Structure 1
């Protein structure tokens, strides 16, 4: 194999694929990136951790077609440190790959291409397109609520499923929860998504997908079965196994009868929570919210640090009461609100609280209260 590629092109392609590669691997070939030069020009870069696979096609001048695998992180670090604008020549033969750029030469060990594992996709019957901007919005508004508890592995991802909302017609919903908070986004159902199985997309796949989405303007092609999903992102294709588990029926925890309504500016509310939480103990992070007519008082009492309180302006006309929340969880949700007003639907100090921008907003959030 022999090919010449611009440093910037190589660096960009490698930055996408190498992040899939785990730093510590018991199987040596999983530390490598597969580089395949085709006779028609262009390099195919591919990396996998056996659950997630990314393939990217980059422009290159190919003198001799062929394929090899080389350490992904080493090659990425080399490309990063080469001079800007340089042409990089990759030559592979007899178990070695020579990387030359200007006066710099690196001779790297390789492993055979035939040993490189490929995720067999099988049949992916459901296929539809989703605008990149919509997919970005879905991920940004839900991924903070993904659970990191390995014991509840079925919560370690975002659950995508279709539903028929009656008056609103068929929709695609994405939900994530860690048992303390829930985030759900609803968008119109894309053509071709009808009848798709409910799938849980793993956290690592979500993170890699979000990075790649920043460079996609048009639509993303989604293809999926009950066990695998593939995202077509222009020059890059991301394939992932899905979480094999049953996502809980989260609709049961979305409150419908919360009759106490608080309307408040999310930014000043979030800043107030952040200020009083400065003295909250790391363990509990509890903030108390005392509600009176059009007067909301945030307070924290910490045995180690003392007390803090702040009044924040808001519209509230129901009976006064007190409720406590985890400050971090509350701020995570408020950080997703784009408008100037957020609706907080409350019932009592022990019931789940519903937070949303308005009835027609695509995203809604549920937060469990804390005892304070």
Structure 2
């Protein structure tokens, strides 16, 4: 194989693969990517950890067709530090490839291409066009509360369901908090039951959506979710299992409702979390008509207190929460006001965005001594 490609194109292709290749796998081949020329002016880069497949097509001049399997991290670090301009990749023998750019050259070992897992034949997939900004916004409002490597595997993803035509609902929880967003879309995929989209796959999809606002299509078939653009296909294996009944976690009613300015509340939480217990990021809310006091303390580091003006006419209430959970929810809100719904010191708090009625977050209280 002999391929000439611009540094920027090569870097784009390799950066897309970094989060996908298997870093902790017992199969060394999964730390590699597969580069293959498909025409005299195009090449593809494939990356996988067996749960996620990514295949992108890029511009590059090929004088000799072929394919190579090379370590994804090493080639990325090399490309990231190359000078601007073109770089060439040429097979030296069956065990190495030479990369040349200006006065810089490398000889890099390659793996056996026949050992690289082929992308499965997924069969027919029905795709629908979806606004990438809309899809990205829906995932943003649920990704922060997904569990990470929880033994309850169904918590390591986002539950996606279609309540009715034109509506999509995403829900996630890590057992301590829950987030839910109802979104409106022009078309909905054909789904007759909820599916759980894996956290890692969503993270990689968000990276692609941040690259550009190019049109995006999505689809579901078998046990996989598919997302594609003109130059890229991203396939992720859905998580098996049944998502817990999240409706049992969301309080049906609350006796106390607080309205507070988003920026003031956010800044106060940031300031008070500085001296909170590092393990729990715990802060105490003291509610009284028209006023909220946020307190934090650590026996070894000191204590802090801040008062906020709020719209509240309920009873006096003292309750503790993890400040980070509130900050994560506030960070994805659109409006200027946060609505808190509480009942007592042992019940969860429902956090709502005054600027987006379809979004809510439920946070469990914590005991702070």
TM-score by length of 2: 0.93
Question: Which of the numbers 205, 208, 227 marks the counterpart of 2:201?
Answer: 205
Structure 1 Cα separation of the partners of residues 106 and 15 of structure 2: 19
- What secondary structure sits across from 2:296 in the alignment? strand
Matched, 1:64 2:60: no
1:9 corresponds to: 9
Alignment of 1:48-63 (within 5 A): 48-63=48-63
- Cα pair 1:298 1:309 within 8 Å, conserved: yes
Cα offset, 1:217, TM superposition: 0.9
1:91 corresponds to: 90
1:104 corresponds to: 104
Number of corresponding residues: 367
- Cα pair 2:170 2:180 within 8 Å, conserved: yes
- What secondary structure sits across from 1:148 in the alignment? coil
Structure 2 Cα separation of the partners of residues 359 and 111 of structure 1: 53
Structure 2 Cα separation of the partners of residues 268 and 346 of structure 1: 20
- Cα pair 1:273 1:327 within 8 Å, conserved: yes
2:284 corresponds to: 288
- Cα pair 2:141 2:181 within 8 Å, conserved: yes
Alignment of 1:200-349 (within 5 A): 200-349=196-345
- Cα pair 1:145 1:176 within 8 Å, conserved: yes
Alignment of 1:17-96 (within 5 A): 17-85=17-85, 87-95=86-94, 96=96
Alignment of 1:110-259 (within 5 A): 110-123=110-123, 125-164=125-164, 170-259=166-255
- What secondary structure sits across from 1:291 in the alignment? strand
Cα offset, 1:285, TM superposition: 2.3
Q: Could you say if the C-alpha distance between residues 194 and 225 of structure 1 is closer, same or farther in structure 2, counting changes exceeding 3 Å?
A: closer
237-246 vs 271-280, which moves further: 271-280
Structure 1 Cα separation of the partners of residues 24 and 345 of structure 2: 46
Cα offset, 1:90, TM superposition: 1.4
Give unpaired runs (5+ residues) of structure 2. none
Structure 2 Cα separation of the partners of residues 162 and 319 of structure 1: 39
Structure 2 Cα separation of the partners of residues 110 and 8 of structure 1: 22
Give unpaired runs (5+ residues) of structure 1. none
Deviations 1:171-211 (A, max 9, x none): 21111101111111111254242434311111111111111
Q: Could you say if the C-alpha distance between residues 9 and 211 of structure 1 is closer, same or farther in structure 2, counting changes exceeding 3 Å?
A: same
- Cα pair 1:52 1:240 within 8 Å, conserved: yes
Cα offset, 1:366, TM superposition: 0.9
- What secondary structure sits across from 2:159 in the alignment? strand
219-228 vs 311-320, which moves further: 219-228
255-264 vs 104-113, which moves further: 104-113
Q: Could you say if the C-alpha distance between residues 301 and 83 of structure 1 is closer, same or farther in structure 2, counting changes exceeding 3 Å?
A: closer
- What secondary structure sits across from 1:163 in the alignment? coil
Cα offset, 1:125, TM superposition: 4.8
TM-score by length of 1: 0.92
- Cα pair 2:167 2:184 within 8 Å, conserved: yes
- Cα pair 1:2 1:91 within 8 Å, conserved: yes
- Cα pair 2:335 2:355 within 8 Å, conserved: no
Cα offset, 1:226, TM superposition: 4.3
Structure 1 Cα separation of the partners of residues 149 and 88 of structure 2: 45
Q: Could you say if the C-alpha distance between residues 210 and 360 of structure 1 is closer, same or farther in structure 2, counting changes exceeding 3 Å?
A: closer
RMSD between aligned residues: 1.9
Cα offset, 1:57, TM superposition: 0.7
Structure 1 Cα separation of the partners of residues 359 and 101 of structure 2: 49
Cα offset, 1:22, TM superposition: 3.0
2:363 corresponds to: 367
- What secondary structure sits across from 2:208 in the alignment? helix
Q: Could you say if the C-alpha distance between residues 103 and 283 of structure 1 is closer, same or farther in structure 2, counting changes exceeding 3 Å?
A: closer
Cα offset, 1:122, TM superposition: 2.2
